[in-house]
Amino acid sequence: MSDLLRVTPSGLYCEAGGFYIDPWRPVERAVVTHAHSDHARPGSKRYLCSSACAPFVRLRCGEESAISCLEFGERRTINGVTLSLHPAGHILGSAQVRVEHQGEVWVVTGDYKTEPDPTVEPFELVRCHTLITECTFGLPVYRWPEARTEFERINAWWAANQSAGRTSVLMGYSLGKAQRLLAGVDAGLGPIFAHGAVLGPTQAYRDQGIRLPPVRPVSEAPLDVDWPRALVVAPPGAEATPWMRRFRESATAFASGWMAVRGIKRRRGVERGFVISDHVDWPALMEVVSATGASRVLTTHGYSAVVAKHLSERGLDSAPLETQFRGEAEEEGA
């Protein structure tokens, strides 16, 4: 029997159901796990995603995109294949895709994390026969500290910058990470501003009822603004642009899982790093793999070959899957 899902030149394909999951080329029918650029690409005829994800897919793929939505847990049968979406905990609306055909269950995790995060629906464990899991941080050196302690460190950094007279510029991916940062910092410390790229997704989070502190656009800051008191949330890459000049003296920091490794921090020339990741770390990855009960595990993103080899040694049927997902590329530092 051929595989229920397989990699084709256009992306991960379900032949029996006639749909793709996060295709990297335009297709007839695309099921989208979440709206990061390596998963949601413009040009497909029809999109299917979670209701919470839809506004972000519109932002990414165009207002006029034909999107139909599924609630989490809701089942839809396409050509005899039953499809449902389950929270992945990566960003708001991010989903794992469960595909069932003739009693065989596959789950595609998309990007996911199991850690609690007030800005997303909590990760749901879905049992399956075959699991396709991401491995962005699939090395045992990645073990996240508690987000709470990292946020304490961020607050302390912000406060220290305030006394040193430096504007705190905190970098994180504009969709997902930025909102998680906004929700996690102590907004009582001072005013919060955001780079333009962060504002759209932030409004979309608010529209869905996620509570976030007041955020003002940097571009609309009054002339006499006291920058050193402020926290500025910006996407990675902003630190090397003229945009930064307005803050004069600034302290920059990155929030990313990659910041767990000093060498990566140094290679990126990061002044300060906070280990806040929207992906699973090694222990969580191992836990999820085993709790799904899957006997076959296909791996994508990042350290897929390493994880597959490790799981094979543990007696699972495991192999890397050649995809074009990048997760969070180290060089992006997102």
List residues near another protein by CB under 8 A. 139-143, 145, 260-263, 272, 303, 306, 309-310, 313
SS3 273: strand
Q: How far is CA 140 from CA 111, 136, 149, 260, in A?
A: 18, 12, 21, 12
Which of 42, 59, 117 is closest to 87 using CA atoms? 117
Which of 37, 32, 35, 4 is closest to 18 using CA atoms? 4
Report, in Å, the least distance between residue 83 CB and another protein.
35
Residue nearer to another protein on the CB measure, 240 or 305: 305
Edge-to-edge strand order for the sheet containing 11-14? 6-8, 11-14, 19-21, 29-31, 46-50, 66-70
In angstroms, rounded to a whole number, what is the distance separating the alpha carbons of residues 87 and 119? Answer: 12
Locate 166 and state its tokens: 């430096």
Residue nearer to another protein on the CB measure, 206 or 262: 262
Residue nearer to another protein on the CB measure, 141 or 223: 141
Residue nearer to another protein on the CB measure, 210 or 311: 311
Q: Please check whether residue 166 is in contact with residue 249, taking contact to mean a CB–CB distance below 8 angstroms.
A: yes
Report, in Å, the least distance between residue 226 CB and another protein.
24
Report, in Å, the least distance between residue 267 CB and another protein.
8
Residue nearer to another protein on the CB measure, 161 or 179: 161
Report, in Å, the least distance between residue 265 CB and another protein.
10
Report, in Å, the least distance between residue 283 CB and another protein.
8
